Amino acid sequence: MTVPTILDDLATAARKRADELRASVDVEELRERAASFGKRDFLAALKKPGLSVISEIKRASPSAGFIRDMEPSEQGALYEERGASCLSVLTEPDRFKGSLEDLDAARGNTSIPVIRKDFTVDEIQVIEAATRADAVLLIAALFDADSLARYITLAERVGLTALVEIHDEREANLALEAGAEVIGVNNRDLRDFTVDLGTFEKLAPMLEGATLVAESGVKTVEDARRMRDAGADAVLVGEAVMREAGLVAEISAVT
């Protein structure tokens, strides 16, 4: 018998939340709200000269446990003040202790683009993200090529940048086949949550032409420089900047 991974458990919980959302909203009304919500340019922020920093707001994670509590509006403003190019806000409620209210609070008190970070498994979650965020995370491991391409297209139609997250060569090929333009290489294996910065270094050469984000495991300026030297346009930093926001300014200065 196959033992479910942490990612499997997170995806199962996300499907339940998606079902509850479908039962509670008018989908066409949600689409109208998504279309009318003014977006900030997430992709342009990643393409700025130098190494862009996506600073993350999260209270906890399966790997780190409880990190710390904070006011998302204050944390987002602090990140922006320290030079963050974008924000990532966890909205997964169980393992990460996030919420859509955290997303609203952080975006409402900042002027930089914000990605909703969650475990997207249903098209309605993409539409929901477009009513309050500028980008959406799509984890390649949760899709086949056809469905991933469909979700990327949907994101574009509702004005979102799709950040497609991969971890290995199979997923890299899947993302490219699906037409992903922004690809995040997660140095953390979501099946067992081990981290290896060499993952980005190994996969980046396969992804020429895409805008690349190095995710997870960046804890120091040296780590960020290593990712930049391997081809990263941006780094997504979570736990380290939640513990020390000053790191945002130091990484933003990497050229």
Catalytic residue among 117, 187, 201, 252: 117
177 a catalytic residue: no
Catalytic residue among 52, 55, 56, 92: 56
Catalytic residue among 80, 92, 128, 165: 165
39 a catalytic residue: no
55 a catalytic residue: no
Count the neighbouring beta carbons within 10 Å of the beta carbon of residue 246.
Answer: 9
97 a catalytic residue: no
187 a catalytic residue: no
Q: With residue 67 as reference, give the H or E element that holds it.
A: none
Strands in the chain per DSSP E: 52-57, 60-61, 65-66, 86-90, 114-117, 135-139, 161-166, 182-186, 211-215, 234-237
Catalytic residue among 85, 88, 187, 216: 216
Catalytic residue among 55, 61, 88, 186: 186
215 a catalytic residue: yes
Using CA atoms, how far apart are residues 73 and 23, in angstroms rounded to an integer? 30
Counted residue by residue, the chain has a size of 255
DSSP 5-19: PHHHHHHHHHHHHHH
Catalytic residue among 52, 55, 58, 80: 58
Find, among 247, 243, 244, the residue nearest to 65 by Cα: 243
Catalytic residue among 92, 128, 171, 215: 215
Using CA atoms, how far apart are residues 67 and 3, in angstroms rounded to an integer? 27
Q: Are 55 and 246 in contact (CB under 8 A)?
A: no
Catalytic residues: 56, 58, 117, 165, 186, 215-216
